[in-house]
Amino acid sequence: MALKILNPGIQPLGQFDFEDGYLLSVKGGEVCTLVALSRTNTATEKAAADVLDGYTSIAQQKRAGLTLNIAVNTARPLWLTDDGIAGYGTLFGQVIGTPAGLATTGTGLGPHTAAGSGKVTAWDKPGLYAVTLDAVDTHLTSGLQPGNVALVPQKALYPTILGLLTPTSGRSVGAAGPTVARFVEFETTARSLVRTPASLVGAAEVFEHAVIAYHVE
């Protein structure tokens, strides 16, 4: 769903054109890397005009963009995506007034942030970030299962070949690249200290995101 900014570096890198095949699947919190993209808009490559003035070389007629396809272990740089499909950075308000100015509340409105620009914001600075659990590998969320004690603070996290954070480095799950973060903890949807934890009343905790210390090692 989204990347959440907790204690990040000073500022993100900015917005980069994203490879079309992955653009609208970005949820936020995946690991991305640079890729060479076409400088010509076609049926398979669409880009805003302001990103078409760069070259990787005159002979290649290519330009730089971002992708979730981390095909090799040596891929660099490795950055965190920031533009998701809900929550932070996406929902800018509510539909108010419909019909006839009568409604004072409404449904959250906001398409994928890349819909208007074709770009995705990237973070490279070490810091604390939170990634919603629908945007990480299932080998990470399995740490929430009863009896699973393997996931502890400082556990190394790697990107899969599709950029999802995972604690499993073996190629059997498509992991690629180096350690990009260290696991801190899972947090619930309610971070307030002024509440009764669900576990104290016999209810199951509802976890929303994983807190990570991002730093490419």
Confidence of residue 213 (pLDDT cuts 50, 70, 90): very high
Average pLDDT of the segment spanning 196-213: 78
Read off the pLDDT of residues 164-180 as tens digits, 9 standing for 90 and up: 999 987 655 566 678 99
Q: Collapsing DSSP states into helix, strand and coil, what is residue 171?
A: helix
Percent share of the chain, pLDDT over 90: 28
Worst-scoring range by mean pLDDT, 22-26, 57-61, 173-177? Answer: 173-177
pLDDT at 193 over 70: no
DSSP state of 200: G
Q: Would you state the pLDDT for residue 94?
A: 47
Q: Is pLDDT of 79 > 70?
A: yes
Closest CA to 137 of 112, 183, 168, 178: 168
Query: 10 Å Cβ neighbour count for 63?
Result: 18
Residues 6 or more apart from 44 whose CB is under 8 A from it? 20
| Residue 43 in this model has a pLDDT that exceeds 50 | yes
Global pTM value: 0.81
Give 168 or 105, the one with higher predicted confidence: 168
Between CA 208 and CA 72 the distance in angstroms is: 30
Q: Tokens 């076409």 identify what position?
A: 38
Q: Which helix (H) or strand (E) holds 141?
A: helix 138-141
Query: If pLDDT is split at 50, 70 and 90, which confidence band does 111 have?
Result: low
Pairwise pLDDT comparison (1 vs 4), residue with the higher score: 4
pLDDT at residue 39, as a whole number:
84
